[in-house]
Amino acid sequence: MKIIGLLCFNLLICLSSFSQTEESGESFFKKENYFTGGTGNFSFGENITSVGVSPYFGYSFNKYFDLAFSFGVNYISQRDYETIGDKLRQTVYTPATFIRVFPAKFLFGQLHYEYNIINDHYLPGIGSNYIEEKLSYQAKSILLGAGISNGKDFPNQKSYYYFSVLWDVGNDVQSPYKDNLNRSVPIIRAGYNIALFQGKK
């Protein structure tokens, strides 16, 4: 799958940051361009609610392009309206990578790939014919969307807040960002991007 290739390529880029690539002995990757941060997310739809946190670590290549890796934990609750109050509770662990493109300091587009490790707990409602059940499985999500910030200022890196809305454009029916009818629900994320190694150039 092409997105798997992209994930591996991004990993190789980050690993190469530790190598010396110029005759002058300077690192090709500048330490003042690294950043960290975290995202809180909230999504909702018909009978579904999701909340979670995702710390990340990344690199700004220039004023237009950022790459980062993250690890998230999400809790999702769904209610099946076709039965008598049946509930599905999910805990999702999410290693991921994302790319942000900034056409302007305050505006960005984002492509975000997640590999979701999902633990389900199914709770039947009163009068349901089903039994309580626990399952574990995996699912892939390809999130695409846009966001705003209070200003990325490359090369004079600074910390900033951001807000984004994403949708799962992948076709994995097990994705935690799909509702009971396999429709993508909006994923609302807000967070803080922290510039690293400032003043140590």
pLDDT tens by residue, 52-100: 899 999 999 998 999 999 999 989 887 765 556 788 888 999 999 999 9
What is the model's pLDDT at position 6? 53
The Cα 154–Cα 64 span in angstroms is 9
Q: Would you say residue 11 lies in a domain?
A: no
The Cα 159–Cα 52 span in angstroms is 22
- The residue range of the domain holding 103 is 35-195
Q: Would you say residue 134 lies in a domain?
A: yes
Q: Would you say residue 18 lies in a domain?
A: no
pLDDT, one tens digit per residue, over 184-194 is 989 888 999 99
Q: Give strand ranges (E) for the chain.
A: 34-45, 48-60, 65-80, 86-104, 107-123, 133-149, 160-168, 187-195
DSSP per residue over 130-157, as a string? S--EEEEEEEEEEEEEEEEES---SSS-
Residue 137 confidence class, pLDDT cut points 50, 70, 90: very high
Contact 190, 51 (CB under 8 A): no
Contact 14, 67 (CB under 8 A): yes
Q: Would you say residue 96 lies in a domain?
A: yes
The Cα 10–Cα 61 span in angstroms is 12
Comparing 197 with 5, the larger pLDDT belongs to 197
Is 141 a residue whose pLDDT tops 80?
yes
The Cα 175–Cα 187 span in angstroms is 12
Domain count, the chain: 1
Q: Would you say residue 28 lies in a domain?
A: no
Q: Would you say residue 12 lies in a domain?
A: no
What is the model's pLDDT at position 11? 47
The Cα 134–Cα 105 span in angstroms is 45
Q: What is the CATH number of the domain that holds 187?
A: 2.40.160.20
Comparing 7 with 34, the larger pLDDT belongs to 34
